Amino acid sequence: MSAPLANPAIMLVDDEPDILRLLRLIINSLATGYTILTCTHGDVALEQAMQQPTPLIITDYNLPGMNGLQLTAALKAHAPATRVVLISGYINLDLEQRARDRGVDYLVRKPFQVDPLIQMVRAALA
């Protein structure tokens, strides 16, 4: 097991490389002093978040390993102050309720617009 990194981390979790690249560009423009981690699997993201202070996680709903709601519930049990932005192309009332129940702070529909996402990231890191 590796030692935790010095800076807190913002974790980006998506199984689509293009989305991860876009999210990394957005976060790099907003947040200095953070290590940016990327993961493509929910279970790997959880393992990394347990080892590294992670004040913000932006995650897709559909992931290999565990979905974004399962990841959120496990993260909130470990670090309740972690802010979670859940991104999904399939938002409905059931998903909204389940997301609230598991502690999701912000829910974003894919394809997402950059400006609202920037506002959510700023609010989450404030």
Residue 32: give the domain boundaries. Answer: 9-125
Asked whether residue 17 is domain-assigned, the answer is yes
Asked whether residue 25 is domain-assigned, the answer is yes
Asked whether residue 3 is domain-assigned, the answer is no
Mean pLDDT of 19-32: 88
pLDDT, residue 75, reads 94
What is the domain-level CATH number for residue 37?
3.40.50.2300
Four-point Cα dihedral 119, 68, 44, 39, nearest 10: -40
Asked whether residue 4 is domain-assigned, the answer is no
Asked whether residue 35 is domain-assigned, the answer is yes
Which of the four pLDDT bands, split at 50, 70 and 90, describes residue 1? very low
Asked whether residue 117 is domain-assigned, the answer is yes
pLDDT tops 50 at residue 2: no
Asked whether residue 60 is domain-assigned, the answer is yes
In tens, the pLDDT along 62-115 reads: 999 899 999 999 999 999 999 999 999 989 999 999 999 999 999 999 888 888
Which pair of structure tokens corresponds to residue 31? Answer: 């947040």
Asked whether residue 103 is domain-assigned, the answer is yes
The model's pTM: 0.89
Q: Are strands 56-60 and 83-88 parallel, antiparallel or unpaired?
A: parallel
Query: Which residue would you say has higher pLDDT here, 46 or 121?
Result: 46
The dihedral through the CA atoms of 2, 39, 64, 91 has a sign that is positive
Give the helix/strand (H/E) hosting 23: helix 17-30
Q: What percent of the chain has pLDDT over 90?
A: 62
Sequence-ordered list of residues with C-beta below 8 angstroms from that of 99, at least 6 positions apart, any chain: 69, 72, 86, 107
What is the number of structural domains in the chain? 1
